[in-house]
Amino acid sequence: MTEDIRSIAKRAPFLQPMTPWGKPMTVRMTSAGRFGWVTDRRGYRYEEAHPKTGQPWPEIPPSILTVWKAVAETPTPPDCCLVNYYSEKARMGLHQDKDEADFGFPVVSISLGDPATFRIGGSNRKDPTQSVTLESGDVLLMGGEARLAFHGIDRIKFGGSTLLPDGGRINLTLRRVAPAGV
């Protein structure tokens, strides 16, 4: 799977996204599939082309689609695979995945590389949260009531895995952006 991720990044280079209020995010991102998630001064959204190259995103590799097919419990394939790279100090604040057209489809997360402290709460930002360590190879399914749960990454245990030569964590999130049949 790591070779497939390198192939994605070669065709669609990692970017350091900027929040709508002008703050750079600490993760670097790219995508595969029909859509890629992007953010800049215009806001959060999905686009059909890489914002720097203007080229369509690469296809989602079969090795990654296999995980979706095994856990998503839907015959409808994902049309986006967001690839986040977390370096030693990267974090992801509490957020909801709510830019998709149909929340009936799950979000499937695949963790690779260094362990991360994942925090998840309820559908309201002020709901209590709990933390769990995600190890390399862990798969997390957010569906049903958990589909709109606030979640984030508090820290990375940098150097906790030998999967990535320079350390860090890769997180793949598979999702359906467009309604089924579109």
Average model confidence (pLDDT) across the chain: 95
Q: What's the whole-model pTM score?
A: 0.94
181 pLDDT higher than 90: no
Q: What is the mean pLDDT of residues 107-126?
A: 96
State the Cα–Cα distance between residues 164 and 114, nearest whole angstrom: 8
Residue 41 banded pLDDT, cuts 50, 70, 90:
confident
Q: Name the pLDDT band for 180 (thresholds 50, 70, 90).
A: confident
The 3-class SS string of the chain reads CHHHHHHHHHHCCCECCECCCCCECCCEEEEECCCEEEEECCEEEEECECCCCCCECCCCCHHHHHHHHHHCCCCCCCCEEEEEEECCCCCEEEECCCCCCCCCCCEEEEEEECCEEEEECCCCCCCCCEEEEECCCCEEEECHHHHHCCEEEEEECCCCCCCCCCCCEEEEEEECCCCCCC
What are the residues facing 117 on neighbouring strands? 133, 155
Distance between CA atoms of 94 and 11, rounded to whole angstroms?
A: 30
Place 52 in a pLDDT band, splitting at 50, 70 and 90.
Answer: very high
Confidence of residue 79 (pLDDT cuts 50, 70, 90): very high
Q: Please state the separation of Cα 93 from the chain's center in Å.
A: 13
Residues 133-164 pLDDT 10s: 999 999 999 999 999 999 999 999 999 999 99
Stretch 46-67: mean pLDDT, rounded?
97
> Tokens standing for 53?
């190259």
pLDDT grade, residue 182 (50/70/90)? Answer: confident
Percent of the chain clearing pLDDT 70 (strictly above): 100
CA distance linking residue 133 with residue 25, whole number of Å = 22
Above 90 in pLDDT, residue 65?
yes
pLDDT for position 34: 98
How high is the pLDDT of residue 10?
Answer: 97
Q: Sorting pLDDT into bands at 50, 70 and 90, what band is 84?
A: very high
Output the six-digit token pair for 2: 């790591």
Average pLDDT value for residue range 52-79? 97
User: What residue ranges do the domains of the chain occupy?
Assistant: 2-175
Neighbours of 60 (CB within 10 A): 22
The architecture of the domain spanning 2-175 is Sandwich (2.60)
